[in-house]
Structure 1
Amino acid sequence: MALGYKTRRRLSLLVLLIGLPLYIVVAVTLVGWMDRPSIWMELLVYVGLGFLWMMPLRRVFLGIGQADPDAPQPDRADRPE
């Protein structure tokens, strides 16, 4: 089932405003549980977790920054040149 443009837009806003901050808290907590990792290991974990949250949600964010494809398009004659 494909999500509509407005549904994907609302869902992406919800993910960015609520889901991402929660994911950041979880990532920082996981790194805090590690027994004094080196700075490079910490960086590797953060980069890995940064890509991990994004992969399942990439279809939600695809095309959100563009105009609504379902919206009616204005006629070319109505536009001033």
Structure 2
Amino acid sequence: MALRYKTRKRLSLLILIVALPLYIVAAVSLVGVFERPSFLVELVIYVGLGVIWAFPLKFIFKGIGQADPDTPDS
């Protein structure tokens, strides 16, 4: 299913403004449930969680900074 440029742009803003802060709170809460690991283990967990969220959403963010390809050239 191909999303239009405007839809992807709005969805990316929604993800960055609403979903990403919720994901960060969930990640910190998840790590906080367990006994605090050593600094390096905690760093690896946060870096891994920080990278993992972007892979399923890569198709939404791809090309958002470009000009709208749906508008005709004038």
CA distance in 2, matches of 1:60, 1:40: 32
2: CA distance, partners of 1:17 / 1:36: 28
Find the aligned partners of 1:36 and 1:12 in 2 and give their Cα distance: 33
Provide the aligned C-alpha RMSD in A: 0.7
The structure whose residues are more often helix, as a share, is 1
Q: Which residues of 2 match residues 55-74 of structure 1 at below 5 A?
A: 55-74=55-74
Output the amino acid matched with 1:57. Answer: L
Q: Secondary structure at the match of 1:46?
A: helix
Larger C-alpha radius of gyration, 1 or 2? 1
Structure 2: 5+ residue stretches without partners: none
Paired letter, 1:11: L
TM-score, length basis structure 2 = 0.95
Q: Which aligned runs of 4 or more in structure 1 are off by greater than 4 angstroms? A: none
TM-score with structure 1 length normalisation? 0.87
Aligned to 2:28: 28
Task: Check if 1:18 corresponds to 2:38.
Answer: no
Matched position secondary structure for 1:54? coil
**Residue identity (%):** 64
Kindly indicate whether structure 1 or structure 2 has the higher relative contact order, using CA contacts under 8 Å at least 6 residues apart. Answer: 2
How far apart are residue 35 of structure 1 and its match?
Answer: 0.9
The 1-side partners of 2:47 and 2:68 are apart by: 32
